[in-house]
Structure 1
């Protein structure tokens, strides 16, 4: 009987990790010896070299971008899959991502992994600060990596390009959500890489940090449910998320799809960088 309860507990925890999208430092400490767990530092290489969670590999989101055109748009699926494989990651790995605490880089990677067909993607709640609280091991030493094969299976249902946004943004069943700050949304305080100020017509403003606590941990499901509901974002609609470069959109994507179980959410990859650069596109 005790063995059955133990097995059942493990199964329940596994289901929780798969669907919640968030893993605590305590949970990671228990799982870190699992050979299928891959911890991913989403920080810049210079930060990784100073200190990172023991056994973590490093993937900075900008390394997954095209080198020509809009600076923040994804490389081809084959190119990204090659990078993942070189980091020892397969589509079946249990992936745990962390960043400097802002949830921006980790959220972006979360969406990219999900788009690429990874089956089990999680963000470490509290990031390095949370890991330190459980006295988790850190090191400056680069992790030895055994290359693997990541079999890409891109999911078009979570990806939007500019043509898609143009064609669908005004439909009654679509909610276009700009997750930047209100000043950015209003064109007052804009990213220097955005040539024309303002937002895509019809978009609503929902700042990405609405779902975060003051210490940058993720708010509870109940809190996020209420916040999202009050913003007019509902699961019966198709949600298209964007920001300046869709880095901040990733953590909102995680919250909607993994915590609230929304089933129809896309991220506009080109975001304001692409939309506002095209003078034929309207902005408000």
Structure 2
């Protein structure tokens, strides 16, 4: 009897752990397409959305969240972001499911932005459009009729790092900067993308977080990848890339799948860092 009770408790805890993750499978989402409490959001640019998208999905391109002028990737204010989402019928009171073509970086960008704005129920479609098509689920070219909503932001500053915080991380053993760019770009071996890296940062190539089927790797695999880079659960982990897009994949993996407590994104990223003359870049 005791063994049976223990086994039942273990199953319950495993189920709760799975529920805590902000990934949703194709089969799970397909059952929610007509649920009025759900809204599905394509994070792709408008031209890609126009080619094909999930039935009833609205489009909020990751690029539409950026401030005009300045450096690439700089976000609009929280008020402006809330207006963008609201205009597309997205309310923080709904369960918001974001997806992209399968690489995960655009969906995770929207995921982090929505969490930063305080939306409590945000999920990412694991495998994106690649998995959706493989599952033979409904797609369309027809734009979705949008009924505007009100999005009320409640900014979560705990997951946001500014340049001053990144500058202060130098020499602090309790803080680690993790750059999510591809290895060749981070190391300077890619001649087309050789911006340099923030001193002291380590590299976790965002593509290594995914399987060949465009889904996220298992919890054990992800923990091994980040721990090998020194990004352990006891540290404050600040994620960087040039624009914050690829850093979002690291945030989802660390915060949602692994449950690490102190994870932030340096929103300005390498682009802001490089634009400030007093900052140094390693090559």
TM-score (norm 2): 0.90
* TM alignment of 1:71-90, pairs within 5 A: 71-90=72-91
Match of 2:162 in 1: 161
Give 1:215 shift.
Answer: 2.4
* TM alignment of 1:118-267, pairs within 5 A: 118-189=119-190, 197-267=195-265
Distance 1:18 1:74 in 2: 30
Distance 1:244 1:49 in 2: 27
Deviations, residues 88-145 of structure 1 (Å, cap 9, x unaligned): 1111211111111111111111110111111111111111121123321111111111
Question: Helix, strand or coil: the match of 2:133?
Answer: helix
> Any conservation in 1 of the 2:179–2:202 contact (CA below 8 Å)?
yes
Deviations, residues 214-256 of structure 1 (Å, cap 9, x unaligned): 2221111121122222222111110000112121000110010
> Any conservation in 1 of the 2:179–2:203 contact (CA below 8 Å)?
yes
Distance 2:116 2:16 in 1: 20
> Any conservation in 2 of the 1:199–1:272 contact (CA below 8 Å)?
yes
Cα RMSD after superposing both structures: 2.0
Distance 2:191 2:276 in 1: 16
Deviations, residues 34-92 of structure 1 (Å, cap 9, x unaligned): 11111000111111111110000001111111112112111000000011111111112
Number of corresponding residues: 271
Give 1:191 shift.
Answer: 5.8
> Any conservation in 2 of the 1:85–1:147 contact (CA below 8 Å)?
yes
Match of 2:5 in 1: none
> Any conservation in 2 of the 1:85–1:149 contact (CA below 8 Å)?
yes
1:269 and 2:263 matched: no
TM-score (norm 1): 0.90
Distance 2:233 2:242 in 1: 24
Distance 2:213 2:133 in 1: 14
> Any conservation in 1 of the 2:86–2:148 contact (CA below 8 Å)?
yes
Distance 2:201 2:43 in 1: 29
Distance 1:101 1:67 in 2: 27
Q: Which runs of 4+ in 1 moved over 3 A?
A: 11-18
> Any conservation in 2 of the 1:40–1:57 contact (CA below 8 Å)?
yes
Of stretches 214-223 and 145-154 in structure 1, the one that deviates more from structure 2 is 214-223
Question: Helix, strand or coil: the match of 2:265?
Answer: strand
Distance 2:231 2:270 in 1: 20
Give 1:190 shift.
Answer: 5.8
Give 1:273 shift.
Answer: 0.9
> Any conservation in 1 of the 2:44–2:106 contact (CA below 8 Å)?
yes
Match of 1:103 in 2: 104
Match of 2:58 in 1: 57
Give 1:16 shift.
Answer: 6.1
Q: Structure 2, unaligned stretches of length 5 or more?
A: 1-11
> Any conservation in 2 of the 1:97–1:123 contact (CA below 8 Å)?
yes
Give 1:15 shift.
Answer: 5.7
Question: Helix, strand or coil: the match of 1:132?
Answer: helix
Match of 1:3 in 2: none
